Homo-oligomer: A and B are copies of this chain.
């Protein structure tokens, strides 16, 4: 076993590990799909075989955290036979996803015998910072390997023993199939985060998976591209011409299906013309489901005992919602652009022209018509796997599947052509014949 696994408190130098990850990434990037899938199958088998060892490491984490951790954190941390089986199953399901590499994104003949091809390739080295979930280790390692990337994992303190044991098993599986173990490594300790964030020459993408505070810290402290989002202040706008029953059920779903999710609705905006009829019903229905409704003055005039909205840029992440009245769809869009986080915005209306205008004009990763904001999700979108959700406009936006872990390169195959031939008196002329797209 290489010394690259930091275990038993033996924390290796982060830079050394990152350099090893970079070397490993260059070795796994060109592998064909069959070899990457074989490695994933080896990982799955190794996890099954190592069950006892993994449970033991996890038991130590659980014992160490017993006094300090909340019951929900303990539940996430605890590894049992069912969870391990699900983790193994997930690794196998990642193997069965379509190959994100080597996709021909474009092909142009520049001239006879001079062919340009644009193909998808891995990013290189991913650094993933996550919290108390053992399943994050195997899922991230599987997604990274499937997409030809090396990965450096920085687990939360609570799950360190489990993470080290899991990575040891995964690395042994890589060696077994003749691949570099340094394609998966683990670094331990809070100080590692700052170190990782400074290594833009070695790390190609940082994926923070955790609290809003963690994501914001990462975004503010690195030049490395970050895949993640700090907040989801999603809106539902209820237009003038609306099917009230549809609106009530969609808003209830958007708020109560999973209030802690980033795609849960935080603010409902209602067109002034229907406010008097609709808002009392909406408030009653939400309150029946235990939702604390906050309102603007118009809402508070319609329904007694509603608290005033303190800040329209609030992500409650809980059974609470802001409700406001707007004079027009334009006002709704202005509100959304001023207070939203460009995550997911939905319009509820029977007026198709209004809906299409909303879809066209609202600037967000997801813009929906007559559907719950909760659909903004990689699995629901059919990506097979979700690497994260991005509210940045760069690289990947919205739910991000395996493609988000790739970039592309241009291949040009010629016969000794020179650029100088295409200039001057007897210049050759580019054909620029696109073959496929």
Question: Which residues of A are interface residues toward B (Cβ below 8 A)?
Answer: 26, 29-30, 108, 110, 114, 116, 121, 123-124, 204-205, 219-220, 223, 225, 243, 246-247, 249-250, 252-254, 257-258, 337, 348, 355, 357, 359-361, 363-372, 374-377, 380-382, 392-395, 397-399, 407-420, 422, 430, 432, 434
Q: If A257-B420, A381-B108, A381-B110 touch, does A414 touch B361 (CB 8 Å cutoff)? A: no
Contact assessment for B416 and A370 in the assembled complex, using a CB-CB cutoff below 8 Å: yes
Q: Contacts of A357 on B, CB cut-off 8 Å?
A: 30
Report the Cα distance A410→B391, complex, angstroms. 12
In Å, the complex CA distance between A361 and B369 comes to 45
User: In the bound complex, do residue A371 and residue B26 qualify as a contact, i.e. CB atoms below 8 Å apart?
Assistant: no
A408-B412 CB under 8 A given contacts A257-B420, A382-B432: no
Q: Which 8 A-B pairs have the closest CB atoms?
A: A371-B414, A253-B418, A374-B419, A382-B432, A246-B416, A393-B407, A368-B412, A225-B394
Q: Could you say which residues of chain B place their CB within 8 Å of the CB of A407?
A: 393-394, 397
Q: Is the CB of B30 within 8 A of A360?
A: yes
Find the B residue at minimum CB distance from A371.
B414
**Quick check: B253 and A393 within 8 Å, CB to CB?**
no
Task: Find out whether the CB atom of B415 lies under 8 angstroms from the CB atom of A370.
Answer: yes
A374-B420, A399-B410 known; 5 other A-B pairs, CB under 8 Å?
Answer: A116-B381, A370-B414, A381-B410, A394-B407, A397-B409
A369 and B414 contacting across the interface, CB-CB below 8 Å? yes
| Chain B CB within 10 A, most for which of A368, A398, A416, A417 | A416
User: Contact: B361 with A26, CB < 8 Å?
Assistant: yes
Q: Which residues of B contact A371 (CB under 8 A)?
A: 114, 412-414, 416-417
CB of A384, distance to nearest CB on chain B (Å): 9
User: Which of A29, A124, A366, A420 has the most CB atoms of chain B within a 10 A radius of its CB?
Assistant: A420
Max chain B Cβ within 10 angstroms of own Cβ: one of A114, A393, A419: A419
CB A236 to nearest CB in B, in angstroms, measures 12
Chain B residues in 8 Å Cβ range of A432: 382
Q: Is the CB of A249 within 8 A of B380?
A: no
Compute how far the CA of A29 lies from the CA of B29 in the bound complex, rounded to whole angstroms. Answer: 38
Q: Chain B residue with minimal CB distance to A374?
A: B419
CB-CB < 8 A to A416: which residues of B?
243, 246-247, 249-250, 348, 370-371
Q: A393-B123, A395-B395, A417-B371 are in contact. Are A366 and B409 (CB under 8 A)?
A: yes
24 sample A-B contacts, Cβ–Cβ < 8 Å, listed by A number = A30-B357, A108-B381, A225-B392, A246-B415, A246-B416, A249-B416, A250-B417, A355-B413, A364-B409, A367-B411, A367-B412, A370-B415, A370-B417, A372-B418, A375-B419, A376-B410, A376-B412, A377-B419, A381-B410, A393-B407, A394-B407, A395-B395, A397-B409, A398-B409
